[in-house]
Chain A
Amino acid sequence: MNEPVVVRNLRKTFYDEGRGEIKAVDAVNFDCREGEIFGLLGANGAGKTTTLRMLSTILTPTSGTATIMGHDVVSSPQGVRKNLGFYSATTALYPRLTTRETIDFFARINQYPADLVPERVEHLINRFGLTKYADARIEKLSSGMKQKVSIARTIAHNPSILIFDEPTVGLDVLNALDVQESISELRSEGKTIIFSTHIMSEAERLCDRIAIIHAGQILACDTLAGLRQSTQQHYLEDIFVLYVKAGQATI
């Protein structure tokens, strides 16, 4: 059976006037299984965001393939986006729309059946405890509330695959825990989730499998238990450092 997310030899090269050719993602391979949280763990600039941007069709790969629910990111970008919810620190909300209008807009534009949209909007408003703020403009909401609306808009069209790119960046502990809880709930609903982070505790707590990415390459990919066994280290931080140092030596 095909996995919902299949990534093969994915590469992305940028050209910078000062630095020349930059291999942001270099021959990345991984699969995500249905209903799991797949963690992409890496330091800043490791290639996490570029990889996820290619999966969400924002960027076009230089080479390699990636499919989301059988749709190729290059040849069928709309099919990919219909099955995908993408959340990151750079995907903000329209400040002048209300909560209700925001969820409604993203449900409709992402092709959720039009006749079911009002019901879906109400469901999400209730689910995230946004009833009181349903008709308030986004610009008037607190950071925590905005975060909830952001997650609601990500899943407005009920996609099978969700990408969370460093979703807790800039959040306080309580809001970060709220986000983690929401992601956990989404997994229990059967969603396949790709979760990128550089915070070890988040990865340990949430991810079913973890891929350690460094300098655009995946250095290891396994369950936490598997990584512990392979490295004979207990803490994810130690495991991560071990792989990164080994990776640097190889590079």
Chain B
Amino acid sequence: MNLNAIRILYWREIRSALRDRTIVTNSILLPIFLYPLIIWIAYTGITFVSGQNEGLDSRIMLKDVPPAHEPLKREFESDESVVLVTSADPAAALSNGTLDAIVEFMPANSAPTIPENFATRITYDESRDASNRAKSRAAQKLTRYREKYLEQQATKLGMSRADFQNFWMDERNVSSGRAVGAFMVALPIFFIIMLAVGSMHPAIDSTAGERENSTWETVMTAATSRANILIAKYLYVATMAFVAAFLNLFAMIFSMGTILGPLFGSNLSLRIPIRSAPVVLIGAFLLALFVAAGMMILASFARTYKEGQAMTSPFYIALIIPVMFLQTPGLDFTWRIALIPVANVMMMIREAFQGIYHWRLIAITLVVEAACVILALRIAMLVIQHEDFIMGSYNGSFGKFIKERLFK
């Protein structure tokens, strides 16, 4: 192994890659902008729709308002988003959509301790958004008015609010803000998707792309060993995978903090604990080596860029599917999951982001990933010993090759 030759070849690959539109788009721009952009668009869309809804009027009919509660009627009248209407047949108006909700005032069910006590019924049509919105607005107003009214009555009777409050309801969220944040934004799954996307095009470019451009033979005549050439290519693909994953991670944290942070306030923390860095880095490093090896082995059977895309796509899907299933809330990182390649790294990273470290499971994960890397490289070594494969004259896929050459 000649480190100087590997360095020269590696920088040649990187330099070419950074000038290629497809690679720059998929390995650099996409990780930085795609998911943050999707989240921004979704957030803007939600805000827009919600703003539009806020601006829509609710047509509400108040029926039999007791004279003592005229202030409640005035509150409805003063709300610009509420239009008070009257109807001879409110039930029909509600069903034909000319009325959104009916608020009926009825005598209290039992003899009231507080004078002018009353009961209300809101009639609405759940199948219509406008009616649902009107019901929410009416209920909100009634609740607020009732609270205020009760407080006034208590004061008149010489009581404090606490004296007549039956019980207090207090909510306590035991999940830390960090856990909520890490889980909600599903950073690990994006991390792994981007790692796969980031390696795919460089892997194709450095193998099938070279064959398509007829530069494969040029580099094979360079005064260095084939092993050095392949190591440089491998390191280049792994670098691009690693970089894509981390660019996406940083972009997600930044954009989440900027866009979603204010929405959740103190309930959402998007800071990743510094302590998780070694675990995340080593996990990502091993995963990048494994994914790069897999992508390169498959892509190197292709003779054109298109063939390369077709040959690497199943591997990409195979990486993503188990990771998708593991996004189920409440799923724990167990030793069984630690034995599943890729999924184990995702779970390990997810826990590390939450500040949880199961060291035994982390050790199993790293051993499994390292074994996968070794296995992939071993397969690559077996494959490159075949001259027709190196020369690109082998006409078949990885599966056919394994069947014909390695198991024959």
Contact = CB atoms under 8 A, between A and B. Distances in A.
Contact of A109 (B215, B224, B387): B224
13 contacts: A57-B221, A58-B217, A59-B387, A81-B221, A81-B222, A91-B215, A91-B218, A91-B221, A92-B215, A97-B16, A105-B8, A109-B9, A110-B222
Contacts of B224: 78, 81, 109
B387 A60 contact: yes
Interface in A60-95: 60, 77-78, 81-82, 84, 86, 88-95
Given A105-B8, A105-B12, A92 B214 contact: yes
Chain B's interface size range is 20 to 34
A91 B16 contact: no
B225 interface: yes
Contact of A90 (B12, B217, B225): B217
Given A90-B217, A91-B214, A109 B15 contact: no
A167 B213 CA distance: 17
Contacts of B215: 91-94
B19 A110 contact: no
B213 A110 contact: no
Interface of B: 5, 8-9, 12, 15-16, 19-20, 213-215, 217-218, 220-225, 387, 391
Contacts of A89: 214
Contact of B217 (A91, A96, A97): A91
Interface of A: 56-60, 77-78, 81-82, 84, 86, 88-97, 101, 105-106, 108-111, 137, 153, 157
B387 to A, nearest CB: 6
Contacts of B225: 77-78
B206 to A, nearest CB: 11
Given A60-B387, A92-B214, A95-B213, A78 B223 contact: yes
B11 to A, nearest CB: 9
Nearest to B211: A90
Given A94-B16, A94-B215, A137-B19, A109 B223 contact: yes
A81 B223 contact: yes
- Chain A CB count within 10 A is highest, among B15, B221, B391, for B221
Given A93-B215, A94-B215, A105-B8, A58 B16 contact: no
Given A59-B391, A60-B387, 14 more contacts: A56-B221, A77-B225, A81-B222, A81-B223, A92-B214, A94-B12, A94-B215, A95-B213, A96-B15, A97-B12, A108-B8, A109-B5, A110-B222, A153-B218
Given A91-B217, A101-B15, A157 B223 contact: yes
Contacts of B213: 92, 94-95
Contact of A97 (B8, B9, B15, B391): B15
Contacts of A92: 213-215, 218
Contacts of B9: 109
B16 A96 contact: yes
Contacts of A94: 12, 16, 213, 215, 218
B361 to A, nearest CB: 44
A82 B214 contact: no
A11 to B, nearest CB: 14
B20 to A, nearest CB: 6
Contacts of B20: 96
Nearest to B226: A77
The 7 tightest CB contacts between A and B, nearest first, are A92-B214, A81-B223, A82-B223, A91-B218, A96-B19, A110-B223, A86-B221
Contacts of A57: 221
A170 B222 CA distance: 24
A24 B225 CA distance: 25
Nearest to A105: B12
